[in-house]
């Protein structure tokens, strides 16, 4: 029997203006109601910022070093900690947006400067927020049937803009995700002393994309064909940017987020 969880952080959100991202995130949270923070994101304007910090601070404020050192103190395995942090970042950046892509043909901006993370009392990342709530969507998105389409790439007062086609959307997701993950992985390799290679971290990203594309149809009843086509397009775009998201030596991802 499904257990519905009344999450206090979600319940405390003060949504002053409902946007498409709120609708999409609510549907994503419903995929896994026992742990509603696993999928979807929050909008930072709806929240108090206690225990939230911008993901850029992983690079600029030494937070990644603190997270790595805390993990090593607990497990005494530099490789295991690097692997878990790489999996966490992969899920934060791309593993959350792929479910929305495969389900609704929508995506929020996964750029590093747009993402914030929430941490629990032990400092583990357990939720993600966005500063700019604007979604990118396919031109046949149901949102546009009720009002004039804002046009490809043009800002929309309704919190959603249309990109020309599926290829443009998946390439945009891959580009923004690549720009976010590349510096995070480079810094993680540095703070871990090379305990895990950057290429192995990108293999984890590939596993996160494929895992989401496989799991979401099981949870939602969505089309497996659509899910795999869209997720593979994201992987193709990442490969075109020169990162090895495909390979046969992906390590086990283990626990990604605590909820």
How would you write 45-84 as a 3-class SS string? HHCCCCCEEECCHHHHCCHHHHHHHHHHHHHCCHHHHHHH
Q: What local confidence, expressed as pLDDT, does residue 80 receive?
A: 97
Sequence-distant (≥ 6) Cβ neighbours of residue 91 within 8 angstroms: 208, 256, 257
Q: What share of the chain in percent tops pLDDT 90?
A: 76
Task: Report CA dihedral (192, 196, 100, 24) to the nearest 10 degrees.
Answer: -20
Q: Do you know the residue count of the chain?
A: 259
Q: What local confidence, expressed as pLDDT, does residue 63 receive?
A: 93
Q: What local confidence, expressed as pLDDT, does residue 48 receive?
A: 86
**Hey, where are the domains in the chain?**
55-114+134-240
Mind listing the pLDDT tens digit for each residue in 90-138?
Answer: 999 999 999 999 999 999 999 999 999 999 888 889 999 999 999 999 9
Mind listing the pLDDT tens digit for each residue in 189-204?
Answer: 999 999 999 999 999 9
Averaged pLDDT of the chain: 89
The answer to whether residues 135 and 167 touch, using CB atoms and an 8 Å cutoff, is: no
Q: How far is CA 82 from CA 187, 193, 194, in A?
A: 11, 10, 9
Q: Where would I find the beta strands (DSSP E) of the chain?
A: 42-43, 52-54, 106-107, 115-119, 125-130, 135-137, 160-162
Q: What local confidence, expressed as pLDDT, does residue 9 receive?
A: 86
pLDDT interval class at 177 (50, 70, 90): very high
The answer to whether residues 115 and 93 touch, using CB atoms and an 8 Å cutoff, is: yes
Average pLDDT over residues 51-79: 93
Q: What local confidence, expressed as pLDDT, does residue 157 receive?
A: 60
Q: What local confidence, expressed as pLDDT, does residue 147 receive?
A: 62
Q: Copy the structure tokens of residue 30.
A: 């419903």
Q: What share of the chain in percent tops pLDDT 70?
A: 88
Average pLDDT over residues 71-95: 96
Asked if pLDDT for residue 218 goes beyond 50, the answer is: yes
C-alpha span between 39 and 26 (Å, rounded): 9
Q: What local confidence, expressed as pLDDT, does residue 148 receive?
A: 54
**This prediction's pTM:** 0.89
């Amino acid at each position: 029997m499904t257990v519905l969880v009344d999450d206090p952080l979600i319940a405390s959100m003060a949504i002053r203006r409902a946007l498409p991202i709120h609708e999409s995130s609510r549907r994503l949270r419903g995929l896994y109601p026992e742990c509603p923070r696993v999928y979807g994101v929050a909008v930072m304007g709806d929240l108090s910022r206690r225990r939230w910090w911008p993901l850029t601070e992983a690079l600029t404020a030494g937070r990644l070093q603190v997270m790595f050192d805390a993990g090593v103190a607990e497990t005494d395995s530099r490789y295991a900690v690097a692997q878990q942090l790489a999996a966490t970042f992969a899920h934060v950046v791309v593993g959350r947006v792929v479910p929305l892509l495969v389900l609704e043909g929508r995506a929020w901006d996964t750029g590093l400067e747009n993402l914030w993370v929430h941490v629990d009392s032990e400092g583990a990342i357990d939720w993600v927020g966005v500063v700019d709530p604007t979604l990118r969507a396919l031109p046949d998105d149901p949102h546009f049937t009720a009002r004039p389409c804002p046009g490809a790439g043009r800002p929309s007062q309704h919190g959603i803009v249309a990109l020309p086609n599926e290829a443009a959307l998946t390439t945009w997701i891959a580009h923004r995700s690549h720009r976010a993950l590349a510096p995070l992985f480079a810094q993680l390799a540095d703070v871990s002393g090379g305990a895990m290679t950057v290429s192995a971290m990108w293999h984890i990203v590939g596993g996160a994309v494929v895992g989401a594309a496989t799991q979401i149809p099981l949870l939602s009843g969505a089309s497996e064909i659509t899910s795999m086509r869209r997720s593979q397009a994201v992987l193709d775009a990442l490969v075109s940017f020169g990162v090895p998201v495909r390979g046969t030596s992906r390590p086990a991802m283990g626990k990604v987020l605590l909820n």
